[in-house]
Amino acid sequence: MSRNPLNTIAIENFLQAAKVAGKTNQREIKLDAKQYKDLADSIGIVLARLVELQDNALANPPEEVINIQMDGGNF
């Protein structure tokens, strides 16, 4: 999958509208066709990128190196 920058403007706009609606006690948020299509596309792309990152993390786990040093102390 390509590593193009994620376009999250539609998600940011929705979150801003939800924030304003919450502060002004609005009961609903209305989106026109372009807004909900852009929002759905953005969410889909973000989720696909998340799955890709999870798959890569599972396929290539980082090597853990644990170093333990013991000091007997002074008895």
Residue 31's CB: how many other CB atoms inside 10 A? 14
25 pLDDT exceeds 60?
A: yes
8 contacts 47 by C-beta, under 8 angstroms: no
Structural domain includes residue 70: no
Structural domain includes residue 56: yes
2 pLDDT exceeds 60?
A: no
* Alpha-carbon gap, residue 12 to 26, rounded angstroms: 18
* Alpha-carbon gap, residue 68 to 4, rounded angstroms: 42
Residue 69's CB: how many other CB atoms inside 10 A? 4
Structural domain includes residue 75: no
Residue 36 belongs to domain spanning: 28-62
More confident residue, 35 or 62: 35
* Per-residue model confidence (pLDDT) at position 63: 84
Give me the mean pLDDT over the 16-45 stretch: 96
More confident residue, 1 or 8: 8
Number of structural domains in the chain = 1
* Per-residue model confidence (pLDDT) at position 75: 67
Helix, strand, or coil (residue 62): coil
Per-residue tokens: 50: 């998340």
Verdict on whether the full-model pTM lies above 0.75: no
